[in-house]
Amino acid sequence: MNLPLFARLVAAFAALFISTAAVAETHQLDDSLSHTVPPTAQMQWLPQTRGDQDGGMEAWVRVNIHINTQDWIGRSGRVYMVLPRDETSTLEAVWTTDGKLLAGRLVSGERALVYAGNITTNALRDQMLVRLRSGPDWQSNSRRLNFHFELDTDSTPGTQRP
């Protein structure tokens, strides 16, 4: 069968793309050795200003990050910090780091990139200084924040994860 040149090129490019396309795989990482200093944070009311009549709540916490990457040594990928949305008020986290991980910002329901590149060690370790801020609708005396870390790896179709 004699297909037009354009149809043959489209078919060839589609076959090439399908055979070489990378599939991103997302994996939750073990960060059970991470801990905050102090172990709990006390939210404080922000003073009302002319620009922010609503005020809100704020806390600062230092976090010693220890993300287990032992199963991923030799792989390349992107690590994200995740704060799932919950039924309470929206929370914003803004952080700086000591250098191994990226500084950043996220709001509950989002994830933010904290590392990209080759994984060469059995753990990613760093220290973050995190500012937590919510609006004036914060209604809890006690709230557990379920931050966690996810790894997106690129692998060709059919590659199995560890």
pLDDT of the chain, 162 residues: tens digit per residue: 555 544 444 444 444 344 334 567 899 999 999 999 988 888 888 876 666 556 788 889 999 999 999 999 999 999 999 999 877 778 999 999 999 999 999 999 999 999 999 999 999 999 999 999 988 776 666 667 889 999 999 764 334 445
Identify the pLDDT of residue 160: 44
All structural domains of the chain, each given as residue ranges with its CATH number in brackets, are 23-155 (2.60.120)
H-type alpha helices, the chain:
5-20
Which token pair is 97? 């780091």
Q: Which residues pair with 49 in a beta bridge?
A: none
Identify the pLDDT of residue 129: 97
Contacts of 27 (CB under 8 A, 6+ apart): 72, 150, 151, 153, 161
Identify the pLDDT of residue 38: 84
Q: Which of 145, 144, 105 is nearest to 128 (CA)?
A: 105
Identify the pLDDT of residue 74: 93
The pTM for the full model equals 0.77
Identify the pLDDT of residue 28: 97
Identify the pLDDT of residue 67: 98
